[in-house]
Structure 1
């Protein structure tokens, strides 16, 4: 039967084959290296490619061929398959894709003409070649579909059994190697590296995967250099010389290079590095992939530039019997001549390494020198895989043979068997390697299991990859400098590495050994700005995995200067983000909160203090879920217990607008705007704080008690600032206070601080100034007030966003400032957690690195901007005097309250389940009521009390603080409380030198003209402010003007004659209104 149709790409390749020169097709053709009744074919390079022809013999490839031949010989004596001698035929490819296609075409032709005695294929040794051969043979009808089993082909794409129907392999695929390499980069703190790779399927797939995982890890792959595998050794070396000079001469030299390619690529690079040797410390440190780890040859020829580098390889299992056999060939020329009759490529290896005039036929040559033997005798990393592939394939052949021939002699039923039967037997097989008569010690307890997939299943206790480190002065075997320092297990996805065992060196030739902290790392160099790697995108979310979630909204960053943009880190934002996670973990231990059968995770979203930005992010969360590192989305909204959000009132309002629509409960930890008490507008909103109405009343009580009646207001232009201002203005009549002016600070663009100072100085008799500002506006304004004002020039009463925050370096000019603060005690355990924070360059918290660098005024070793600040110490953490933000206790209590209410509601509505049932989601009123019933010991005095009132507002009052001096520093002295209202007025008056005086009261028109009625000279002070009078005056003018307009229109309608005159009179009134 003729072969089935072939893929168009392969047809093209076959056409190219037919056009090859006769010399290419005839050179080093296929050869039977072991006679047999039935055959296994092995396809492998055997030679380097030299400009389209077979070049230099490859000792590594010859060794792998001989290992398979050795295994087959030992399984034939006595016959492992009763009555059958297994044969072996070798097909050299010379790394030529044309020759690869020719080999595949010849095999297909033999099968189609029923001339083939081949029952399986081992190899080839390169992934790109395996793709061509499997695509061709796998496209044949099932009768001719030869099974292939790879021992060195690791490209991840070969795992696709729908494309490569007849292909299997015993070596782990490259996605496993890349995972091991990813973990090694992280463990070695690499963040900045280049990759040099073979321009073939193996290289392209490996680098594409490596680039993807590096990006997810925040590791910068700065350069990708592909080297054509068809180049000669000299051409490859020339190309790499340019590459190497470019890498080390960059403004930030590349000190980490991954080599993802074969022996020729690695050898050429090491040659280039060796010729450029001046100072080892300036050289890149290498990570070699498994295809490049020909350890014996590397260690002998380039020990200097290789010292300190790493190599990855699947676990090397020593095959002692074969190693003894292999060594005997090149130490016993008689034996070599005998075996070379069957395997002629053995002689090519001898000729490669020996004196040109010396041949095995010349008995006077003597033995090869030891250093020459070392270069060819070390087992390649793939020898044991080649033997495993041989065993597994033979076992499948034996099983089909026994079935077809009924354990008798070789029968025609087997000789004519459909090759797919062997393929199917392979697809679901378990082969215990130590059950074979080869008696290989390193195979004891090892099984190769295929369960319908291309790749063998991993063993439970078997490591998938081993990390080696090239070291000097260790006990060596044949100058092998590589010492095992780590193991990667793909089942656990963990790399166990011994940092103490890793060595690096400098100061060649003395080899000064470096400690772990000083070894070369692939990182941006000190003093450099690696601008291509700087990620200007601020991560919007921190995800702490769980089965159920709390969503936190936190202002990690301030609002940016441009629309929908984040700005700098916001003071206190990181504290709140950490507090949410801390409270989730502590809730079970401190309050016994336990959500049945579920672990609680957190999704912490950065609001960037921007109402519109957080709306966008919440809608994305609702519609799509959270984004994974690979770019996919995970739907989680059905797993959300509730929201802890937010700090500022305008952001809380934006969040509430969304959550009201999708019916989710929200607890704010810091929003005080009075409008948030409106349960018609915000039915699912609760908060830990009291509303601004309470805070404003406390301020007004202080002002009244001081006898002041003429004040100024400075507020932020947001929900918080405007809300506080409005409460004060609405209460003026009640308190008999007049407002000289209201200064509202816009969000953008910011004014110059001196402009505000100039404005308040316009009303010097209005000495009391109320500050209702956001934290960022306090941070922006207060230092200028301290610097530019005179002592006691004004008396400031500040809202709780100042509280006891460290806004001042000195207090002279703001001495006596009064601030409000709602300050339950700080949890000491949380403070300890903040002080324990450390970055390892791979933090789950995407903001931790920039936070530590900002607080410590230094750069971490994995930073991409090292141009200005000093390096941080290796264990850099916050200083002991770090002041945790005052809102943290509110955050903790909000989390505790939400979890407690959610736990009770879940148990009541859903029973003990790890999922959120429809009743929980559909009866949100029940959840809100359960939250309102929560009691907490807020002041650590043993008294638990309700934390919400009936409306869902917090019940905490305020403490009154006074800015005071303490040993030349700033001190906040507590001098009062809001509930009941009481404060140490005399103490404050003494501090301000106001004892026995009343300079805060305005009693005449000259001092406060806005506060006296113009038509009643000498009258008492009016409770209306100038601000309010201006508004009333405008209303009166508008009302009179509108009445005039209406009057003229009526007249115009009644008088049709003199329309033009009346119209002009009407037009003159409109101009007056506009003016």
Structure 2
């Protein structure tokens, strides 16, 4: 430390002594030093900064007011002002002298001790000064209060050990500016900032926040400062880059700069405006908020600009004092003695020498007081200093007036105690001189930054426009107040003068967006599929949804956004959680006062991709927007998802390892019913083996027996195919062809179907996002139309699949239909409200989804090259007849079941009063699973609570059967008509036969010739593999031997019977074999009761002959 002080002494030898005219002094028993800009030129003589002089005078006036009130009993504060003149390093020079004087004051007794510091006025200077002071060790610190330096970096009290700050720091300002841009519909902007601590810090904070709000910074320019000045050339280049940006003109710019730089920018922009026709909206940070209306009125381009600012702390007594100085010569002379720079300010209003008796002072009408937000904070910073000293005096000296030895010792040898006191101080509205009645209170809680409370907003936004109350003048009007992360903007006061000198009113003001017919590629979010929706809570649920399709060429990448069964499922899941959080109805006291948060991941229906996302989430936690990591693993109740069966299989393998229950809403593959493998898996949908039985029943009802299967690759399609193949033999149905469909490879399907053209009934097990593309391709390429399709629940009742496809008339589909617990109307309202607040919602996929679904672009889109502007995007959800997508209600009820069951498990394992998820819950997934499985919800039109899951955890709902038919009013308009049902009861299959249609005379579908029929006979006669007949390891071989002997005997008997039949004259093949000469029997199912199917269609119909009547009746099984 001694070596450092010795170096300080050597440094001061080489610094020229301060000239008398460079300082201002108000005498007292001890002094505060003040660092103020005062002049805008490096010579500190020519361009006076009136606002800076006013700030100094505000500090001086505060000290005089406190002294007059004997605020510190028996002691007076003094002030010494040092001009920095906007010269880099000048503030540090002054600080070096001040510290040298502090450390060697005993050798120069005539100098009053300096015990604190106010200022400087710029963040970079404050960083330099505090770093310098902090380097001298705790006992040599000098308490420093800041009133205009807002850089976020200065909040670090461990690095900047001596400071207290009364003005809001820049993180708040960045939030305000982002909120302002959102309100103004700006999302394609430029940023111009000074290359110093203030400018860089603000730019980085703005960039970080903008990234979370879909605001693109398409251009940024760092302005280099030389001798305190930014050159006009730099600013001209920056503005030209904005207005001539090749991708799209940039119509809005945010400026982080000092008042001097802002003034130069306006001057340059105004000159360019006279040369070129352009529009440019501007938002200036608080760094230039004291630019004043006098300056702004010099630049027409400034009209319409916005200024963010800390709230104005108005002290009326000081305003009167300042005006008196400039209009009353007696007051002026009195104050100029301790503030010599007042003479320079007065020179702006008069041209005579004020010392001359004949020189008249300006009138009050001639003295215009420009807006100055910092003078109030300068007063507040002075009061903080005084309060710390007052409290020190009270504690050290008791009721004694004047200085006592204990207080003097603290000031001399333990200055760090002042800072400790300062970071705990509190200033209220009471016990202050009447002229210093505060509109707020401020409290420090071991931090650099004070917490301000009172009848003031956290931040304000001003707008330079024609005065509201004074005609013919322009004013800085208050148009916005920021509180609790929300900006209340008075849009009715907004005006835009960029094209019209009279000013365009809201909402026709300038909007900084990508231009029409342009693609702003640099701003498009290529990582949109990787986004995550996160909402904070006390406990969490997770969800996995395929918002995007998979990339067929890369298992770790995504394709395009899904137009169905993606985004709406996300919203359904959010809706369920937020309904529970309302704590109404059945959710009253749900999880006590705890809020349920959620995290929603996009799977792209890619098993490997979602596996990697889950493992990263569990290993590293969730990265929040502030860069921190949040560990969800021990706060999560369970997961809803996934969608595709292949994805759910892989997800289950991970989730069960981490003890999470999982409820799928759309994974129907039968393999997922295996609880040995998938231990904690449940689903609200019914497994495919039940659906396969329904489809085969329909085939038999159509008196058909010769079919093709078209199925998707993956667990869903292949599982459905397997279930059909396994059960077809029992129904005596021959599968003539199996066609496996890969995504994006649809053109060959027609040719594959035509390989067996007589198999005119085609069973579809296609993924929901594939159905539309496949049917579109087939409708386009099959001519003449010669097939009747029976679609699985993924086809369902989707109008988008059948729209404009008249050949799909006659298609039969199955539909799993579940009603959301809350009914449809409440969810519909949720969607409507979501889309009406689209710009502020946290769902990152909404805009892309809507644009792709509706083939249009939103105003804030970054791709406007094609299509037209979207309109009325929310209206379809304002229709009480709106039908949600197939799997949405299944997802909603999956989340409700998870929440209700997990709450019961939480209460049992953790106790209802537990503030968080306990280890018992996380370590006992079996109990959680068993609590979820018996959950009941109202899931159909009956209005009765039903079990969502069966005893195996599978879905417990049957199918409705529909046929695509022309409407009665217009045969060309296709609709889905309900023709039957397949419930999960023992005899749950029924068809309303009279409603069935065969529009293309395709039925029945039977084998075409003896050769094909023989193949079918062989297929049917092959013994169906039965798991029950397999020998367990270690079992007896006797049953196997006996079974083999019996099988041989039966086979021999069959052979003999066939030979005898063939030689017997009365043997009629057509009566014995379904496939040699088709016969429409009433044998719909191996266990069916004998009754007439009513299907009398003739397989061979003469051209022009009327088809025989079709009359279908219910068939119960």
Deviation, 1:481, is 0.8
Q: Is the 8 A contact 1:542 1:603 kept in 2?
A: yes
Kindly indicate whether residue 560 of structure 2 is the aligned counterpart of residue 568 of structure 1.
yes
User: Does the alignment pair 1:31 with 2:28?
Assistant: no
Deviations 1:548-603 (CA, angstroms, capped at 9, x unpaired): 22222211111124411111222121121111222334466565586432333332
Report what 2:760 is aligned to.
Answer: 767
Question: In structure 1, what is the equivalent of residue 1094 of structure 2?
Answer: none
Deviation of 1:477 after TM superposition, in Å, equals 11
For the Cα contact (< 8 Å) 1:256–1:284, is it kept in 2?
yes
- Which residue does the alignment assign to 1:756? 749
* Residue 245 of structure 1 pairs with residue 245 of structure 2: no
Q: Which residue of 2 aligns with 1:497?
A: 489
> Is the 2:181–2:187 Cα contact (8 Å) retained in structure 1?
yes
| 1:348 Cα deviation from its structure 2 partner | 2.2
Provide the secondary structure at the position in 2 that maps to 1:711: strand
Deviation, structure 1 residue 744: 0.8
Would the alpha carbon gap of residues 163 and 592 (structure 1) be closer, same or farther in structure 2, given more than 3 Å must change? closer
Residues 343 and 473 from structure 1, CA distance in 2 versus in 1: closer, same or farther, beyond 3 angstroms?
Answer: closer
1:741 corresponds in structure 2 to: 737
Structure 1 length-normalised TM:
0.86
The aligned runs of 1:188-207 (5 Å cut-off) are 188-207=184-203
Q: Residue 974 of structure 2 corresponds to which residue in structure 1?
A: 970
Q: Which residue of 1 aligns with 2:1058?
A: none
Paired residue for 1:519?
509
Q: Give per-residue Cα distances to partners, 1:307-331, cap 9 Å, x unaligned.
A: 2221122221222222222223333
Distance 1:866 1:307 in 2: 29
- Per the TM alignment, residue 268 of structure 1 is displaced from its structure 2 partner at its CA by 0.7
Q: Does 1:654 align with 2:650?
A: yes
Secondary structure of the residue that 1:195 maps to in structure 2? Answer: strand
Q: Is the 8 A contact 1:557 1:608 kept in 2?
A: yes
2:697 is equivalent to residue 701 of structure 1: yes
Kindly indicate whether the alpha-carbon contact (under 8 Å) linking 1:740 and 1:1027 is maintained by their aligned counterparts in 2: no
Counterpart residue number, 1:799? 792
What residue number does 1:831 align with?
828
Instruction: Provide the residue aligned with 2:526 in structure 1.
Output: 536
Residue number in structure 1 paired with 2:907: 907
Residue 75 of structure 1 pairs with residue 35 of structure 2 = no
1:956 aligns with 2:951: no
| Equivalent residue number for residue 894 of structure 1 | 894
State the Cα deviation string for residues 692-728 of structure 1 (Å, max 9, x = none): 2111122222223333232222111111111111222
Q: Deviations over 1:1017-1059 (max 9, x none)?
A: xxx675269999xxxxxxxxxxxxxxxxxxxxxxxxxxxxxxx
**CA–CA separation in structure 2 for the residues paired with 1:101 and 1:168:** 19
1:527 Cα deviation (Å)? 2.6
- Displacement after TM superposition at 1:17 (Å): 8.6
Deviation at 1:436, TM superposition (A): 2.8
| Partner residue in 2 for 1:395 | 387
Aligned equivalents of 2:513 and 2:311: distance in 1?
A: 29
State the alpha-carbon separation in 1 of the partners of residues 929 and 661 from structure 2. Answer: 7
- SS of the residue aligned with 1:277? helix
Residue aligned with 2:451, SS: coil
TM-score, structure 2 length as denominator?
Answer: 0.83
Match of 1:688 in 2: 684
Q: Which moved more, 1:387-396 or 1:135-144?
A: 135-144
Show CA shifts across 1:123-177 (max 9, x none): 1111221222222233335554322112212222222222222221222222222
CA contact (8 A) 2:350 2:361 kept: no
Change over 3 Å in CA distance of 1:343–1:272 after alignment to 2: same
Q: Does 1:99 align with 2:107?
A: no
In the TM superposition, what is the alpha-carbon distance from 1:83 to its structure 2 partner? Answer: 4.0
Q: Aligned residue for 2:119? A: 123
Residue 252 of structure 2: aligned partner: 256
- 1:876–1:247 distance in 2 versus 1, CA, 3 Å: farther
Q: Deviations over 1:48-85 (max 9, x none)?
A: 244x8765221111111122222233333464444444
* 1:1005 is aligned to 2:1010: yes
CA contact (8 A) 2:811 2:964 kept: yes
* Compared CA separation, residues 308 and 955, structure 1 to 2 (3 A): same
In the TM superposition, what is the alpha-carbon distance from 1:774 to its structure 2 partner? 0.9
Alignment partner, residue 846 of structure 1: 844
Q: 1:744 to 1:448 in 2, by over 3 A?
A: closer
1:422 shift after superposition: 3.5
- SS of structure 2 residue aligned to 1:762: coil
Is the partner of 1:48 in helix, strand or coil? coil
Match of 2:182 in 1: 186
The match for 1:546 is 537
The separation in 1 between residues aligned to 2:618 and 2:995, in whole angstroms, is 54
CA contact (8 A) 1:594 1:903 kept: no
Cα distance change on mapping 1:960 and 1:433 into 2, 3 Å: closer
* Aligned counterparts of 1:694 and 1:402: Cα–Cα separation in 2: 85
Q: CA deviation at 1:521?
A: 2.6
Alignment of 1:270-281 (within 5 A): 270-278=266-274
- Any conservation in 2 of the 1:428–1:451 contact (CA below 8 Å)? yes
Note closer, same or farther for the CA distance 1:986–1:256 as it changes in structure 2 (3 Å cut): same
Deviation (angstroms), 1:197: 1.9
Distance 1:264 1:506, change over 3 A: closer
Contact 2:539/2:637, CA 8 A, preserved across alignment? yes
Distance change in 2, residues 1:26/1:122 (3 Å): closer
Q: In the aligned structure 1, how far is the partner of 2:210 from the partner of 2:5?
A: 41
Matched, 1:481 2:475: yes
1:578 aligns with: 571
The alpha-carbon distance between structure 1 residues 308 and 17, as it changes in their structure 2 partners (threshold 3 A), is farther
- Over 3 Å counting, the alpha-carbon distance change for 1:720 and 1:409 in structure 2 is closer
CA distance in 2, matches of 1:476, 1:548: 55
In the TM superposition, residue 360 of structure 1 has moved relative to its aligned partner by 2.1
Q: Distance in 1 between matches of 2:425 and 2:746?
A: 78
Q: Distance in 1 between matches of 2:977 and 2:173?
A: 62
What is the CA–CA distance in structure 2 between the aligned matches of 1:591 and 1:634, rounded to whole Å?
A: 31
1:261–1:289 CA contact under 8 A, matched in 2? yes
SS at match of 1:578: helix
Counterpart secondary structure, 2:804: coil
**Which moves more between the two structures, 413-422 or 310-319?**
413-422
- Aligned residue number for residue 1050 of structure 1: none
Partner of 1:1065: none
Structure 1: distance between partners of 2:183 and 2:272: 29
* Contact 1:1011 1:1021 survives alignment (8 Å): yes
User: Are residue 311 (structure 1) and residue 307 (structure 2) matched?
Assistant: yes
In structure 2, distance between residues paired with 1:397 and 1:592: 56
Deviations 1:631-686 (A, max 9, x none): 32211222222222222211111111112322322222221111111121112122
User: Which of 836, 850, 854 does residue 856 from structure 1 map onto?
Assistant: 854
- CA distance change for structure 1 residues 383 and 874 in 2, over 3 Å: closer, same or farther? farther
Provide the residue aligned with 1:941 in structure 2: 942
**Paired position in structure 1 for 2:1036:** none
Deviations 1:504-540 (A, max 9, x none): 335443x13322x211233222332222111111244
Task: Indicate how the Cα distance of structure 1 residues 720 and 269 shifts in structure 2: closer, same or farther if over 3 A, else same.
Answer: same
Matched position secondary structure for 2:817: coil
1:779 is matched with 772
Equivalent-residue separation in structure 1 for 2:617 and 2:77 (angstroms): 62
Alignment of 1:987-1026 (within 5 A): 987-988=995-996, 991-993=999-1001, 999-1002=1004-1007, 1004-1005=1009-1010, 1008=1012, 1011=1015, 1023=1020
Structure 2: any 5+ residue segments left out of the alignment? 1026-1117
Q: Which moved more, 1:787-796 or 1:395-404?
A: 395-404
User: Does structure 2 retain, via aligned residues, the 8 Å contact 1:1003–1:1021?
Assistant: no
C-alpha spacing 1:132/1:45, structure 2 compared with 1 (3 Å): same
Measured in 2, the distance between the counterparts of 1:405 and 1:692 equals 87
State the match for 1:1037 in structure 2: none
Q: Distance in 1 between matches of 2:927 and 2:77?
A: 77
* Number of residue pairs the alignment of both structures matches: 994
